[in-house]
Amino acid sequence: MSDRTMGWNIAHCSWPVVAIAVGLVAFLVAAAVSWLTPFVPSVHDEFSYLLAADTLLHGRLANPTPEVWQPFQSFHILVEPAYASKYPLGLGTFVALGWALLGVPIAGCWLAAGLCAASMTWMLGGVTGRRWGILGGLLVACHPAMQVAWSQSLMSGWLTAAGASLLLGGVFRLRRRFHAGAALAAGVGIGMLALTRPFEGLVATLLASVLLFGLWQGWTFKRRLALIVRALPLASFPIAMALLAIGLQNYAITGRLDRMSYQVHEQQYGVAPLFVFGHQHQPEMEASGQLPATIRAYHYGWSLDCFQERAGLVGWLTGIAQGCWTAWGFWVLLAIVPVFTAGAWGRYRLTIGLALIIVVQIMFSASVCWVFPHYLSPILPCLVVLTVIGLRRVFRMFVKAEIVRMAQPLRFGTFILAAQLVLLTVSAVRQRIDPLRAWAKHRAAISSELSSRDGKHLVLVEYASDHNVHQEWVYNLADLEDGKVLWARGEREDWNARLKEKYQPSRFIWRLEPDRPGATPELISRPNWD
């Protein structure tokens, strides 16, 4: 279908400008949803990303290990050999950027949503008409699940999906001829994948490379080599910058360029392996007697249970089914339309390649013990392309059946987007009243109340024996020396004695038992300012 039939006069607009406009829509939608559901960190990973962002805002890649470090241990965080998040730099950098520019850390996810929608729109410009490309970008910008789950939580897949979009957008353009911007964008996409989800990103990069070589079928060797020679230097620069950033982070945290903080964390705390074909092991912190009870319960409980359910070949096949079901349930329209409109794209080499990428990516992702939507985010660009082509086929069927007229595609797209916005509003309201976040709001209220008081404070958290390990109160930002309110584990008397010796001269010390209904901190020591 030609662009003229869509009824929108954008022929003279620059495509990057159009993509940026769609990205701005996604940013504003994300900000509006946050207005309905104010951000409160509640998941382990979110606190780790907050630490990563605050560390960057302090001008560091890692923080020094505190003198008394054992009570400050928490999930997905290293305290030794350095105090830092275990995660790569990508999302933490965006959280820091949003925090610095707009005053709230969740704004980093708004920016990531805008970047992803803009990248998707630009990508679609290389394979569909402009107006259908805009519709695809807006489907992402107004998507109910992503705008609630990814824009209102720091467990976000926006950046990974944006990287995959830039990579595929480059492939779509380079399949015909050399394009400097496409080569650079592909390199940026690969760098973003490395800085967000290295394993899934490596798989996505290899699959995109295979797709590109498959689309070059029929080219002479000389023509292929000439394009590679011209494109590779442009793509290599952002990739090299990403690898340099990874190396610097590794060195700052672990002391080695080739040793990731994630690896060190799993050696110190992990019990279950990351992959279904691995083996259970004993964490170093347990062997040394420094492992907190709650962290031990998490790794020997929920984490190990997940591995045991998924271990081996049968578990891997189960993971493939779970991955497909997760994609179906999370993306809904973007997963349903490609399945039921396969006739619209199933006869083209490019779209068959995209479908194979989805299948293979899910197969590799299933080798990881856990399945979450942001783990599958590299397949989102492929789903979006197949969805747009499928919707175009549906529109043509409606025209043929005289349900709509050829001159009414704008109404067709508007109806779909309006339905998504209604679902988005419902999802946002449901999250606002979610009772599972009540404990996180209580923690945030206590932290805010103590921050408003004079002086500095240390809260010793003491859990009940049946404490829910997914409700962790002991998290801090980058500054464990001068932070206004510090949270620490009060479960061992030897740790408490060392904490009091170090902090009692300058801080109010409180005891908190969060598992008691309506629990509030109890003051147990005043600072020795005299």
pLDDT, residue 6, reads 44
For residues 411 and 488, state if they share a domain. Answer: no
DSSP E strands, 52-202? 77-78, 84-85
Cβ 195 vs Cβ 112: under 8 Å = no
pLDDT, residue 449, reads 95
Q: Give me the phi and psi of 487, to 5 degrees please.
A: -115, 135
Q: How far apart are CA 392 and CA 406, in angstroms?
A: 11
The mean pLDDT value for 307-320 works out to: 96
Cβ 151 vs Cβ 33: under 8 Å = yes
For residues 411 and 480, state if they share a domain. Answer: no
In residues, how long is the chain? 530
pLDDT, residue 7, reads 43
Residue 34 domain-assigned (yes or no): yes
For residues 470 and 415, state if they share a domain. Answer: no
Cβ 73 vs Cβ 489: under 8 Å = yes
Cβ 165 vs Cβ 119: under 8 Å = yes
Residue 317 domain-assigned (yes or no): no
The mean pLDDT value for 488-505 works out to: 93
Q: How far apart are CA 339 and CA 355, in angstroms?
A: 10
pLDDT, residue 21, reads 96
Tokens of 81: 């050999």
pLDDT, residue 8, reads 47
Q: How far apart are CA 462 and CA 23, in angstroms?
A: 45
pLDDT, residue 4, reads 45
Which whole-number Å values give the CA distances from 522 to 458, 459, 510, 528, in the listed order?
11, 9, 5, 18
For residues 203 and 229, state if they share a domain. Answer: yes
% of the chain exceeding 90 in pLDDT:
82
Mean pLDDT of the chain: 92
pLDDT digits (tens, 9 = 90+) for 58-89: 999 999 999 999 999 999 999 999 999 999 99
Residue 385 domain-assigned (yes or no): no
In this predicted structure, the answer to whether residue 264 has a pLDDT above a threshold of 70 is yes
Residue 530 domain-assigned (yes or no): no
The mean pLDDT value for 222-251 works out to: 95
Give the residue from 416, 431, 446 where a domain finishes: 431
Q: How far apart are CA 217 and CA 211, in angstroms?
A: 10
For residues 190 and 267, state if they share a domain. Answer: yes
pLDDT digits (tens, 9 = 90+) for 395-431: 888 777 767 665 566 777 888 899 999 999 888 888 8
pLDDT band at 10; cut points 50, 70, 90: low
For residues 425 and 504, state if they share a domain. Answer: no
Q: How far apart are CA 509 and CA 523, in angstroms?
A: 6
pLDDT, residue 9, reads 54
Tokens of 104: 């709230």
pLDDT band at 462; cut points 50, 70, 90: very high
User: DSSP character for 504?
Assistant: T
For residues 425 and 508, state if they share a domain. Answer: no
Count of domains forming the chain = 2
Tokens of 169: 């957008």
Residue 450 domain-assigned (yes or no): yes
Q: How far apart are CA 417 and CA 252, in angstroms?
A: 46
pLDDT, residue 406, reads 59
Q: State which residues form the domain around 470.
A: 437-525
The mean pLDDT value for 314-341 works out to: 94
The maximal CA–CA distance of the chain, rounded, in angstroms, is 87
pLDDT, residue 429, reads 85
For residues 469 and 419, state if they share a domain. Answer: no
pLDDT, residue 3, reads 47
Hey, what's the torsion of the CAs at 471, 509, 77, 462, to 10 degrees? -40
Residue 390 domain-assigned (yes or no): no
pTM of the entire predicted model? 0.93
Tokens of 501: 């010796």
pLDDT digits (tens, 9 = 90+) for 151-205: 999 999 999 999 999 999 999 999 989 999 999 999 999 999 999 999 999 999 9
Q: How far apart are CA 491 and CA 147, in angstroms?
A: 39
pLDDT, residue 412, reads 79
Tokens of 378: 């590299």
Which whole-number Å values give the CA distances from 225 to 220, 247, 379, 436, 447, in the listed order?
9, 30, 28, 56, 60
For residues 420 and 511, state if they share a domain. Answer: no
Cβ 480 vs Cβ 507: under 8 Å = no
Give the residue from 397, 431, 465 where a domain finishes: 431
In this predicted structure, the answer to whether residue 1 has a pLDDT above a threshold of 70 is no
pLDDT digits (tens, 9 = 90+) for 110-156: 999 999 999 999 999 999 888 899 999 999 999 999 999 999 999 99
pLDDT, residue 218, reads 82
Residue 22 domain-assigned (yes or no): yes
As to burial, measured by CB atoms within 10 angstroms (0-12 exposed, 13-18 middle, 19+ buried), residue 49 is buried
pLDDT, residue 5, reads 42
3-state helix, strand, coil in the chain (%, to 5): 65, 5, 30
For residues 167 and 251, state if they share a domain. Answer: yes
For residues 419 and 493, state if they share a domain. Answer: no
CA-wise closest residue to 171 among 14, 386, 18, 350:
350
pLDDT band at 30; cut points 50, 70, 90: very high
Tokens of 124: 């679609």
Which whole-number Å values give the CA distances from 302 to 49, 112, 296, 297, 309, in the listed order?
21, 30, 10, 8, 11
Q: How far apart are CA 449 and CA 330, in angstroms?
A: 37
pLDDT, residue 193, reads 98
Give the residue from 377, 397, 431 where a domain finishes: 431
For residues 420 and 446, state if they share a domain. Answer: no
Q: How far apart are CA 379 and CA 383, in angstroms?
A: 6
Cβ 240 vs Cβ 190: under 8 Å = no
Residue 395 domain-assigned (yes or no): no
